[in-house]
Structure 1
Amino acid sequence: MKRGKSIVLGLSVSMALLFSACNSEDSKSQDTTVNEKVEDTSKQEDNSSNQESDSSKPTAPEAVSLPEGFPSEEFPLMDGAVITESRLHDDGDMTVAFSTAKSTEEVKSFYRDVMQSASDVSTEDDDYFIKGKKSGWETKIKVSPDQGDASKSNVVMDLEKE
């Protein structure tokens, strides 16, 4: 009977060791699988963060040019002007917006001189407007300080065919 108990005890211990070995192998393979998934997820996150950082990089603005047929001799842009918007409307009217490193006082003076030969000239000083008719165009020019840097100016010029 002792021998029977020893065999049963031996089989039980063997089975326990066998099951624990199987479980540790399963556990190792599960750990490996989990680790692989974590690594894949990390790689995906790294790739997505690289993609996000690529798309969030500032890009150089595209060069904007004057509308075709813009009468630049009659309505010149100041030296160093950076055109930010340019539109040729269906009816032939034009809008040009630009920024300049010049002060609003310099810009106002420049466009006062430009509009000196115009008729029906009127001005408003709050956000400086100058309106008038010149060379077949009804013209409105608005000069305002740049919101980010008051030493710079923004200009919007609307030209409507008379």
Structure 2
Amino acid sequence: MPNAVKSKKPLLLVLFLILALIASGCSGEKKIEAGDAEITVKTDDETVEISSDDETVKAEINLEGGAEMPEGYPNDSFPIYPDSVIVMAQTMKDDGVSSYSISIKNKDEVEKVYDFYKDAVKSGENLMDLKTQNTYSLAGSMDGCDFGIIVAPNNLGGDEKTMIQISLCKQK
């Protein structure tokens, strides 16, 4: 258990730094020592990129769109909704587990996007399908991944109507 707690410290530090850098609106690059790893945070007026020298953490945020698909993301099993804009992509690797988190925006209606993802994961196991007001949540296991997908009205800015959050945890 101590290893699990130790491995989360860089993540908490990274998340705090993201918020601090976005709030301050600063540009540049900063390196931070976090336990056994060195975290690099690069920011400009549009994007924030975070990476660790040991490649256990990598994140990119661009609220206007244009963040890149994380390397190794299982797009065949968990496709990105057509004509979507990726605004945040994060990868974490620890003890044989790869975690991915992607936030995307799209101009289609929430219900249409939800139907796309419900169909995409219909072959999964232990499926959970929950609707609260106008937010849809799907969770379960499929193709070696535990997943959670949230489809909701867009609150990230821009003209897009729908925001999609996909979180995956894949065992090697």
Q: Same fold (TM over 0.5)?
A: yes
Matched, 1:87 2:90: yes
C-alpha distance in 2 between matches for 1:67 and 1:138: 17
Q: Does 1:139 align with 2:147?
A: yes
Q: CA deviation at 1:60?
A: 5.8
Gaps of 5+ in 2: 1-26, 28-44, 48-61
Deviation of 1:79 (Å) = 1.0
Q: Residue in 2 aligned with 1:15?
A: none
- Give the alignment's TM-score, normalised by structure 2: 0.56
Select 2:77's aligned residue among 50, 74, 79. 74
Structure 2 counterpart of 1:105, from 108, 111, 114: 111
Question: RMSD between aligned alpha carbons?
Answer: 2.3
The answer on whether the counterparts of 2:107 and 2:159 sit within 8 Å (CA) in structure 1 is no
Deviations 1:7-57 (CA, angstroms, capped at 9, x unpaired): xxxxxxxxxxxxxxxxxxxxxxxxxxxxxxxxxxxxxxxxxxxxxxxx9xx
One-letter code aligned to 2:146: E
CA deviation after TM superposition for structure 1 residue 157, in Å? 0.3
State the partner residue of 1:161: 170
Percent of aligned pairs sharing the same letter: 25
Runs of 4+ deviating beyond 6 Å = none
TM-score (structure 1 length as normaliser): 0.59
Q: How many residues align?
A: 106
CA distance, structure 2, for counterparts of residue 125 and residue 150 of structure 1: 24
More helix by share: 1
